[in-house]
Chains A and B, each alone.
Chain A
Amino acid sequence: MTQRLAIALLMILSFGASSIADVNLPSYPKGRGEYCVEPTDVMRRDHFEYLMHHRQISVHLGVRSKRHSLVGCVDCHASQADDGTYISVNEPGQFCRSCHVYTAVKIDCFSCHAAVPDAVVKQ
């Protein structure tokens, strides 16, 4: 009995270890600027909370602060191709998509929202 348990435990451990080694951690281009609007670990865990809160106050109340807006995220995190054109943050390997693929969470934002900064901001 003890022997069987030991074998089972060994199998579980070895399976776990090999599967972690087999999975590529997400890699993505670095954003512009030195700091994000919140510490990285906070953003990783809670970015959707910030976005949800901001969406409520901006759409319904008309609060237009930039700090937690999705447009702000895209502005900093969309990387540029060699010819200077922006690459969508929703493309494979890009900022949003890479982690969302890794965590298997479907990302809905960009069926409506622009995933690249506006080319020319009219003033």
Chain B
Amino acid sequence: MTNPENKPRRRFLGRTGAGTALLALAPGVRLVDLVLAKDEDEPASDETRWGLLVDANRCTTGCRACVSACEDEHALAKTGRNRLDPQWIRKVELVDESNDRSLSIPLMCQHCEDPPCVEVCPTGASFKRADGMVLVDKHTCIGCRYCMMACPFNARSFVHEEVTGQKSYSPRGKGTVESCTLCVHRVDNDRTPACVESCAVDGHGALAFGDLNDAESTVSKTARSQPHRELRPDLALNTGVRYRGV
């Protein structure tokens, strides 16, 4: 009965325990979001779909906290030539010409459900993980950059030069394509992406991260209560990153 290798049973018990603990609280009050820790040797599950909700009303022009946090987290060093610099998040300024209303939004990989970058990749290096994260397997990337051309959001960068000083959790190298990973190394350890954390620390709270399939996650609740949209809905990509106030 007490077989330590019996993982599914252990997980079931863990989840039952979590459910019981939640029931003990008042309705609507939760100590923590029900993001159940995945065992480290458990693969990502398609029951989860990670996503981001960007609130353009809270995002401020000139603030680059998310961009800097991303650069620090993944050691995205400047090359000294702007056009060659890696850009996992870009701050985009939008102006509505009819009323001169201006907006500032972070634009990163939109983690599409049907990603064009995956469709065009000749080696299978560009792939979508079971939990919806669109990633590049740099071991098999040949640097052809078809994905960069296919991406409607211009979200991917190519590494043109030798890289040094990489973080152990974020390998990067010359000749491969890279983009926002939704901080997969953090998410797999039950943490939120670096950009979301920095935006909250700065007091803007314009970014919400969570499981879109979990009706009780912060991101799902916010998405239900507020109107939001995906960028380029005409392409029917069903993006994992959604925008409010755009």
Q: Does A76 contact B (CB under 8 A)?
A: no
Complex contact A112–B137 (CB within 8 A): no
B131 touches A59 (CB 8 A): no
The distance in angstroms between the C-alpha atoms of A61 and B129, with both chains bound, is 7
| A113 contacts B by Cβ under 8 Å | yes
Q: Which of B137, B165, B166 contacts A60 (CB 8 A)?
A: B137
Q: 1/0 contact trace for B27-42 toward A, CB 8 Å?
A: 0000000000010111
Alpha-carbon separation in the docked complex, A13 to B138 (Å): 47
Query: Is there an interface contact between A64 and B189, defined as CB atoms closer than 8 Å?
Result: yes
Task: Tell whether A57 is near chain B: CB-to-CB under 8 Å.
Answer: yes
Select A62's contact among B129, B137, B168, B173, beta carbons within 8 Å: B129
A99 within 8 A of B: no
Residues 10-55 (chain B) with a chain A CB within 8 angstroms: 38, 40-44
B221 at the interface (CB under 8 A from A): no
In the complex, the chain A residue whose C-beta lies closest to that of B175 is: A111
Question: Nearest-CB distance from B174 to chain A (Å)?
Answer: 7
Task: Please report whether the interface of chain A is mostly helix, strand, loop or mixed according to DSSP.
Answer: loop
Which residues in window 85-123 of A have CB below 8 A to B? 111-114, 117-118
Asked if A47 is at the interface of the complex by the 8 Å CB criterion, the answer is no
- Using Cβ atoms and an 8 Å threshold, which residues of chain A touch B236? none
Q: A112 with B171: in contact, given A62-B44, A62-B130 (CB under 8 Å)?
A: yes
Q: Does B127 contact A (CB under 8 A)?
A: yes
Q: Which residue of A lies closest to B189 (CB)?
A: A64
Number of B interface residues in the complex (CB < 8 A): 29
Q: Which residues of chain B have C-beta atoms less than 8 A from A74's C-beta?
A: 168
Residues of the A chain whose Cβ atoms lie less than 8 Å from the Cβ of B165 = 114
Asked if residues B189 and A113 are in contact (CB atoms below 8 Å), the reply is no
Given the known inter-chain contacts A111-B162, A111-B173, A112-B172, please indicate yes or no for A63 contacting B43, CB distance below 8 A. Answer: yes
- Tell me, yes or no, whether B139 is within 8 Å of chain A by CB: yes
**Chain A: interface residue count, which band?**
10 to 19
Residues of B within 8 A of A117 (CB): 168
Q: Is there an interface contact between B168 and A64, defined as CB atoms closer than 8 Å?
A: no
Q: Which residue from A60, A65, A71 sits with its C-beta under 8 Å from B41?
A: A65
B184: A residues at CB distance < 8 A: 62
Query: Which residues of B lie under 8 Å from residue A65 when comparing CB positions?
Result: 40-41
Q: A63-83 CB contact bits vs B (8 Å, 1 = yes)? A: 111100001001000000000
Q: Are B173 and A63 in contact (CB under 8 A)?
A: no
Q: How far is the CB of A75 from chain B (nearest CB, A)?
A: 8
| Residues in B lying within 8 Å of A, measured CB to CB | 38, 40-44, 127, 129-131, 135, 137-139, 162-163, 165-169, 171-174, 176, 184, 188-189
Instruction: Sample 28 A-B pairs with CB under 8 A, ordered by A number.
Output: A57-B43, A59-B139, A60-B127, A60-B129, A60-B137, A61-B129, A62-B44, A62-B131, A62-B184, A62-B188, A63-B41, A63-B42, A63-B43, A64-B41, A64-B188, A65-B41, A66-B40, A71-B168, A71-B169, A111-B162, A112-B138, A112-B163, A112-B172, A113-B166, A113-B168, A113-B171, A114-B165, A114-B171
B-contacting residues of A (Cβ < 8 Å)? 55, 57, 59-66, 71, 74, 111-114, 117-118
Extra A-B contacts (17), CB below 8 Å, given A59-B137, A62-B131: A59-B135, A59-B139, A61-B43, A62-B38, A62-B44, A62-B129, A63-B41, A63-B42, A64-B40, A64-B188, A65-B41, A71-B168, A112-B172, A112-B173, A113-B166, A114-B166, A117-B168
